[in-house]
Amino acid sequence: MNPSIALRGRLDFVSLGQIIQFLASNSSNGTMVLKSPFVNQPGLICFSKGIIVNAFCGNLQGIDAAYSLFGWTEGEFEFDVARVEKERRITQSLMEIIMEGSRMLDEGRIKEMGAESRDIARPYRPHLEEGVTFVPSPDVDYSYVVAEEVFPPGKNIVEEGNHGNWICVILDGYADVVKDTPSGPLTLCRVGPGALIGDIAIVLKKENVRRASVLAIEEVTLGVLDLERIHRELALMSQGLQGILLSLNRRLAEVNFNLSRLHVSGNKTDLKNLEGKGRFNLDQGKDALYSITRGWASLVCKADKGYVRIAELESGDFVGRAPFLDIGHEPGQAVLLPSDDFSVNELPLQEIVEEYENSSNMIKCIASYISNCVAATTMQVRGMSLPAPIPAAKNVRSLR
């Protein structure tokens, strides 16, 4: 056996999206080699620190190749840690790649290799229904499930504004996350098996007001998680990592609010350009993490015809790139517009990464799922335009 092969399996047993999420969550370096009985050449997806930097499929390279490989639903894969490519040809975030690749496959824009020879009817897949934003779920540690409950179709699992001091995981079925707006209900996203209902603030800050409703669109089986066990694990964390998780939780509330705001106003952008706007350089080529110590900042992203506000960040929030979180906008797709009194402290990134990697699978699952939700909503706020990264501005203040 080749000692450089760290992982191998079958594509008909685990989906490409699940494999990608696993490799990303472990900040993996190497190349995933995919082999299909219907294609002569292998497909390649290259990772650097958990980020997809390039892909190859036949004559295709880059993002087009990555999307094409979602059609390889049969065959084998292996992850070779000895094949490392650092040059980045793909700038899209992890969630953009997974969500767009899955949708392109369902819409027939990429070919499912081998599907024609099997003559199997495609099952109903509510997570790929037209017009639906589906949030992929990481693998959940089901040993935390202490009780189960079943909700019929059309039943609210939780209602916005109500209180609840529990966290659940969807064991089976699909549900829509819905937020009330002055213009009526807005569906933020659809979630399915492995999705979490409840957030980390319930445990760390004892905040238990639901920020959105969750509606079962078919029969949903929920697993209630052992909150005391999760609380004990979070209590042992450093304040630095706790702060990042709470800030991530608040970031989700911010992007949900801004999606609702744009939905009500009907606007596509907040700013036509950034002329005259002071910016902080988020050091796009560097893994670095900072905590806001004073002031505030608006985080804006490039949209089709200008820039759109994603979040308002305040004291205690993090900025920069945490290699274990893929939130779909920072720093590669984002610009930070600070207040005059804005200041930050650099966090000990390596220590935080090591602490996170030594956390339980459930803690990592919670963090990964929240970041998936942030990325999915960010894509909606930007209008699914998938723009190129924003180049670093000249003559700006640096976070370093």
Distance CA(216)–CA(212), nearest Å, equals 13
Q: Domains along the chain?
A: 5-123 (no CATH), 142-231 (2.60.120.10), 237-398 (2.60.120)
Q: Which two tokens stand for residue 146?
A: 């202490």
Residue whose tokens read 């490519």: 85
Q: Please write the tens of the pLDDT for every residue from 105-120.
A: 877 888 887 655 444 4
pLDDT at 226 over 70: yes
Residues 270-310 have pLDDT tens digits of 888 888 888 887 655 567 899 999 999 999 988 878 899 99
Q: Are 360 and 233 in contact (CB under 8 A)?
A: yes
Backbone φ/ψ region at 136: left (φ over 0), alpha (ψ -120 to 50), beta: beta
Longest dimension (CA), the chain: 64
Whether the pTM exceeds 0.85: the reply is: no
Q: What percent of the chain has pLDDT over 70?
A: 89
